[in-house]
Amino acid sequence: MEYQDTLIKTLGMEFVELGKGKVIATMPVNENTKQPFGFLHGGASVALAETVASVGAVNLIDLDKEICFGLEINANHIKAKRDGIVTATGTVIHQGKSTMVWDIKITDEEDQLICISRCTMAVVPKK
């Protein structure tokens, strides 16, 4: 998949693992992902979480016949982070015909929980 000129590239996300039902990606905590007070922006964490769920969902559908979109996402920001790298691990917890639900945990380098998110993906037929 091509990620040039997307939010993925802008925020510096990199995929570590792309499996059936599991995706792991990293994102730096830097000037592109911080809020004005110098901490990781909650919106950047949510963008990482939805990206992991979206890429994971794409790996589970027939792209010739279907496409998927984020339908709903929530996030609890557990711990602040000023620098370094965060890692998002997403796993599918429901895979239906028209929806998928993904659980995404974002951790720091010491495996401490930074954010936990749940994302519902809509699976729709291509027209």
Binning pLDDT at 50, 70 and 90, where does residue 127 land? Answer: confident
Outline where DSSP puts E strands in 30-98.
Answer: 66-77, 84-95
pLDDT at 1: 66
Q: Establish if 59 belongs to a structural domain.
A: yes
The pLDDT mean for the chain works out to 97
Distance from C-alpha of 90 to C-alpha of 106, rounded to nearest angstrom: 9
- The pTM score is 0.96
Q: Establish if 1 belongs to a structural domain.
A: no
pLDDT at 38: 98
Q: Establish if 111 belongs to a structural domain.
A: yes
Mean pLDDT of 12-35: 97
What SS3 state is found at 1?
coil
pLDDT in tens, 36-79: 999 999 999 999 999 999 999 999 999 999 999 999 999 999 99
The residues annotated with a catalytic role in the active site are 50
Buried b (16+ CB within 10 A) or exposed e, 38-50: ebbbeebbbbbbb
Range of the domain at 30: 7-125
Q: List the 99-107 sheet strands across, edge first.
A: 14-19, 22-29, 84-95, 99-107, 113-125, 66-77
pLDDT at 93: 98
- Residue 80: which CATH number? 3.10.129.10
Distances (CA, A) of 124 to 25, 49, 55, 65: 25, 21, 15, 9
Number of domains in the chain: 1
Q: Establish if 2 belongs to a structural domain.
A: no
